[in-house]
Amino acid sequence: LSTQGPIQSVIKCKAAISWEPKKPFSIEEVEVAPPRAHEVRIKILATGICRSDDHVMSGALTVPFPIILGHEAAGIVESVGEGVTCVKPGDKVIPLFVPQCGECSSCVSSKGNLCTTNDIGAVRSLMKDGTTRFTCKGKQIHQFISTSTFTEYTVVHETAVVKIDAGAPPEKVCLIGCGFSTGYGAAVNTAKVERGSTCAVFGLGGVGLSVVMGCKAAGASRIIGIDINKDKFAKAKELGATECINPQDFTKPIEDVLKELTGGNGVDYSFEVIGRTDTMTAALASCHMNYGMSVIVGVPPSASKITYPAMLLFTGRTWKGSIFGGWKSKDSVPKLVADYMGKKFNLDALITHTLPFDKINEGFELLREGKR
């Protein structure tokens, strides 16, 4: 199958466009241009809904509009641009919102995974050449963190896609593109949770539940789930939480509650999986004053700043951030898919609803209501 020259053409398909913040998605016909050199066009088979997408919709995360969001997906390569050798048409793939170029300082270092070609920090929402492959009603549509998966077809750079097992179910393994990997990796890679340790997980959505799964896999003896939605407690316990608490049930700060639950010591590891600066500080204060580690997993609002007592860190605590669970994406995603296929972990519990593409706004309402 030739993938160069005139055989490649513009594809017209459906996409969910965000024209402006705080407005629902609009299902539109878009034109998806052919991939240029070192780019890959993908037919999206399944995509997950992530709170990070909703942060853009609410205006908490600042990006240029109009834009096609979505970053947690699985699909099939439709065509490739000149010079692409890592995938070919027909390959099953996962787009990567954290690319892996293999050459930058983070990719080369054993300590890092945030490739400097990412579009997360200094957001451009365009391809590497400064253009977009999406057009709708004559207008250029921005692309989201190297992926844009709320569309039937997308185009990504070759550093932002990886081939996976052809037999992997896309509606399950799409979660490895973000939510599961982000949470699970925060526990096993970033914190390096040890057997017998005590952990606290702030926020029991899909990513928080994945943190719980990671803590359990690492052998934590106590995993305390924290959420203001008690409906999430049963699922958390099913996946490994030993107990769950609602901060609204107490008059004292949640960090004080956690210290009491741990004999005054605080937990060994805490994880903030919400994206609020107040809970980030509470999570830091809840871990052991000397050797405790707190990991920020939730995406903070673009303009947010944190103020906290300096003594919280002076006494020895470690405060760390974790992006995509610390995984080097191209290296790790195929292995995680293989582990899922080998039944080393179960993604089914993280999937609460399956909806057709044109019901995407209903999916986001379920997310906001805490029913996902």
Is residue 353 annotated as a catalytic residue, yes or no? no
Is residue 178 annotated as a catalytic residue, yes or no? yes
Is residue 52 annotated as a catalytic residue, yes or no? yes
Catalytic residue among 107, 115, 174, 178: 178
Find the helix packing angle between 254-261 and 277-286, rounded to 10°: 20
Report whether 144 contacts 152 (CB < 8 A). no
Backbone φ, ψ for residue 164 (5° rounding): -125, 175
Residues pairing with 142 in the sheet: 67
* Calpha distance 124→67 (Å, rounded): 11
Report whether 333 contacts 181 (CB < 8 A). yes
Catalytic residue among 38, 55, 157, 288: 55
* Calpha distance 367→24 (Å, rounded): 14
CA angle, 74 as apex, 68 and 80 as ends, to 5°?
80
Q: Which of 238, 300, 251 is nearest to 272 (CA)?
A: 300
* Calpha distance 110→106 (Å, rounded): 8
Amino acid of residue 125: S
Catalytic residue among 18, 38, 52, 215: 52
**Residue 209 DSSP SS3:** helix
Q: Which of 135, 151, 133 is nearest to 27 (CA)?
A: 151
Is residue 142 annotated as a catalytic residue, yes or no? no
Residue spans of alpha helices (H) in the chain: 51-58, 105-108, 170-173, 179-185, 206-217, 233-239, 254-261, 277-286, 311-314, 329-341, 360-368
Catalytic residue among 38, 71, 142, 157: 71
Catalytic residue among 50, 215, 244, 287: 50
Which H or E element spans position 317?
Answer: none
Question: For residue 334, is the peptide bond before it cis, meaning its omega torsion is within 30 degrees of 0?
Answer: no
C-beta atoms surrounding 323 within 10 Å: 21
Q: Which of 86, 303, 30, 320 is nearest to 192 (CA)?
A: 320
Is residue 287 annotated as a catalytic residue, yes or no? no
Q: Which residues are marked as active site?
A: 50, 52, 55, 71, 178
